[in-house]
Structure formats: C-alpha cells, structure tokens
Amino acid sequence: MKRAVLLDGAVGTSLWELADRAGINRDPVWKYNMEHPELVQELHRQMIEAGAEIILANTFGANEPMVKRCSSYTVEEVVKKGVELAKMAAEGTGVKVAVSCGPLSELLEPFGDLEEEEAERIFRNQIGSGIEAGADLVMIQTFIDLEMMKIAAKVAKSYAVPVFCTLSFEKVGKTMMGQSVEQVCRELEALGVDGVGMNCSLGPEYALPVIEEFSRQTKLPLVFKPNAGMPGQTTDPESFAKIVAPAAEFVSYVGGCCNCNADYVKALKKYL
C-alpha cells in the first residue's frame, strides 16, 4: 500500500512563532512575504528538513479585500512573492509548492452581501497569481461554507494543476454552515477536484472521526490536517503523531494545521 504523502504544518502560527523570536510584530503573515522574506524562507526550510513533501506558500489570506485593507501592496505582488519564496526553499529537493487559498471574510448572499461574481473575481486574482508564479498545485482550505468553496474550486480547476479542497468542521461532523461530509464529497466530486478532506478547527482526537467519515463517503484522495489541539489544550508533537498516524492507512495526504510547527511534521514522518 502506498504511504501517505507528508504535508507541512501551520504557516500562520509558525510564522508568528518565528516573528516572536526575532522581535518582529505579529502582522498578517502574508505581509512577511514583502517585509520579512527571511522568516518565510526559514519556515519553509524547517518544514522541508522535517520531511514535508508538499509545502504551502504563504498566501492563505492574501485576497484582495484583506490586502487592500491592511497594506499598499497588490495581491499579485504578495502572492507571487509567496510562491517564489516557497519555490526557492524547495529548489533541488523535489518538494512541491501549493498556492494556499483561504475563505473570504464576507458571507455570500443571502447570508451576507458578497455576490458570487465578485467572489469569483477575487479568487481568480489570488489563485491565478499563484499559478503564474509557478505553483504546482492549489490547496483551498479552512472553508466553513461549501458554496464559497465551490466558487474557489471552479476557479482553480480552470488551471492545469491538481486542486485539493479541505473544509473545517464542528465536532458534530458538519461545517459551521451546516453542510455534511456526504454533501461536501458529492458536490466537490462533481466539480472534478483532485482531493478532499478537512483541516483546522479540531484537534486530532476530534478530527479523526470526521476524516473517517470522508473515507466512507468518497473514493477521492483524502487530505487530513488537524490542529495541534484546542486553544489552551495543545497536544505535543509525539502525542499528535500517535493520534493522527492511524489515518495514514486511508488518507493520501497528511500534515498539521494551527500550532503545528516543524516538530509536528518531524514526529509524523517517524510514524509514516
């Protein structure tokens, strides 16, 4: 049986950890691409040395509304720089680089004011910039609304690269918008995505039943990146890896999300 591909850990919390050590302010982490690229490259190097075979470019929250609100940069500048930094760190290693795309802060109509056409334009700007910079694949992650994810997935599928989609779930096994694993799998399969799964929101012990439900609902490759734990109850790397390791029997890609630094990736590699 082919073993699971090892993904990296958290980009955001890990960059803040490095920033704290360097005495640098905790800004929106995509700003570090432009203002502290040495931090970003250091993180990528740590993840690669720990064993990650796919790393996420530091582009998760670099969408137009956020970039405009917090800086004078353009999305194209921030995203392309993020992908370039990741590719420089991965050069000669065989490690692949994903352009990371997170959800928008506004809700789609009718729950909010965001129109589908505007969301599509924003996602195309972000994802397209990453593809232009040479990203090997697209990782659409941490979404709580399947409808918004479908817009991003359709955009990503218009490019000739693999597209992976992971949502965040509550303990009850549904997204915050009430969508089930079964619904997620059915509707994303119809779009032709290359892998589905869950990330963030839950620590490993609560996330495991959710990814197990994915294995019952789809034959698509599964992606599994739980948090290190709940706020104030972070699981140590060894314990995290022990809990997550059984999922490697049925998932294709496994890594960590919030508060999972390179030590967590290293621990997972030992079990894989």
Q: What is the pLDDT of residue 1?
A: 44
Q: What is the mean pLDDT of each run of 10 residues along the chain (272 residues)?
A: 87 97 97 98 98 98 97 98 98 98 94 95 98 98 98 98 98 96 98 98 95 98 93 87 95 97 97 88
Q: What is the pLDDT of residue 140?
A: 98
Chain centroid to Cα 40, Å, comes to: 16
C-alpha–C-alpha distance, residues 209 and 110, integer Å: 31
Q: What are 208-254's pLDDT values in tens digits?
A: 999 999 999 999 999 999 999 876 678 999 999 999 999 999 999 99
Q: What is the pLDDT of residue 272?
A: 86
Q: What is the pLDDT of residue 229?
A: 80
